[in-house]
Structure 1
C-alpha cells in the first residue's frame, strides 16, 4: 500500500519539522491540518478518477492527531465523506477526543500555574 506509506511519511515529516522550530505545537497543528486537508482532496480526486484511495482509517488517524479542523474544512469544501457512516461517527468522536484532551491540557496548565503562585 504505497499511498499509506506516503501518508504516514507526511505525518512523520510534520512531526520532525515541528521539533526544529520554536513553537513546535503550533507548527505541528498547522502541518497536520494542511496535510489532512490535502489528503481529503487527494482522496476525493482518486474517487472520481477511479484510482487508489486513501484508507478511511488513515483519514481518521490524521484527524485524531490534530488534523480534524483541516478534515472538517475539506469535507465541506470537497463534499467528501460528509454522509458516509460509520466514518462520520468516528470522525465526530475524534473531534470530541481532541477537544477533551485540549481542555484537559488547559486545565492542567492553569492548575500548575496556581500551584507555582503558592
Structure 2
C-alpha cells in the first residue's frame, strides 16, 4: 500500500457521545467524516489536526490517522536525514569490498546482506503501514533478529525513508546492539577465512 500525503484541517463538528465528527481540510475541500478510533487522544471541536484521506468500509472518503497539528509540526522539524547512518553504511561497504577483494571474506556474504536488507526494508515498511492503519504490528524482536542477521542496512534506509522506529530509545539501543553483534559475527567469519 502506498503511503498517502498528509493534509491539515480543523475539527468542525464533534459528537463526543457517538465518537465521531467531521474535519474541514485547509484546502477548502469537502468536510470528511472521522471516527474516534483515528485519534490517540480525546478530540475536541476546533482542534487543528493532520490526517490522511482514506476510505471507510463502504468506500466513502474519510479522514484517518489523525495527529494533533502541533505534534505534526514537531515530527516535521525532527525529520531531518540522519547522515550518521548513511556514513556508517558507506564505511561498511568500503570495508566489505576490501575484505572480499583481499580474500578475507567469501563473496557469498554479499548476497546474504542484500537479501536480508531487502527483507528488513520490507518489514519496516509493513510495520509502519500497520501502525498507520492500527493493524497488527510486527514484534520488535523480529525486526532485531532480521537486523542481526545482516538486514541492518535495509533497516537504516527504511527508518529514514518512512520515519519509523527513529524515536524510541529502547528500540534504538537494541537496533545498534544488533548491528554490533552482526559486525562481530562478520569479523569471526573473516578470521576463520584466514585460517
TM-score, with structure 2 as normaliser: 0.43
TM superposition shift of 1:101: 1.5
The structure with the largest helix share of the pair is 1
The structure with the largest strand share of the pair is 2
- Report which structure shows greater RCO (CA 8 Å, sep ≥6): 1
Say if 2:138 is the partner of 1:54.
Answer: yes
* Gapped regions of structure 2 (runs ≥ 5): 1-106
Which residue of structure 2 aligns with residue 97 of structure 1? Answer: 181
Taking the aligned partners of 1:72 and 1:42, their CA distance within structure 2 comes to 15
CA RMSD across the alignment: 1.5
Which residue of structure 2 aligns with residue 4 of structure 1? Answer: none
Which residue of structure 1 aligns with residue 155 of structure 2? Answer: 71
Say if 2:169 is the partner of 1:85.
Answer: yes
Moved more, 83-92 or 100-109: 100-109
Q: Greater CA radius of gyration, 1 or 2?
A: 2
TM-score, with structure 1 as normaliser: 0.68
Taking the aligned partners of 1:66 and 1:46, their CA distance within structure 2 comes to 24
Taking the aligned partners of 1:66 and 1:25, their CA distance within structure 2 comes to 9
TM superposition shift of 1:80: 0.4
TM superposition shift of 1:24: 4.9
Matched length: 89
TM superposition shift of 1:97: 0.8
Say if 2:119 is the partner of 1:38.
Answer: no
TM superposition shift of 1:107: 2.5
Taking the aligned partners of 2:111 and 2:183, their CA distance within structure 1 comes to 18
Taking the aligned partners of 2:109 and 2:193, their CA distance within structure 1 comes to 15
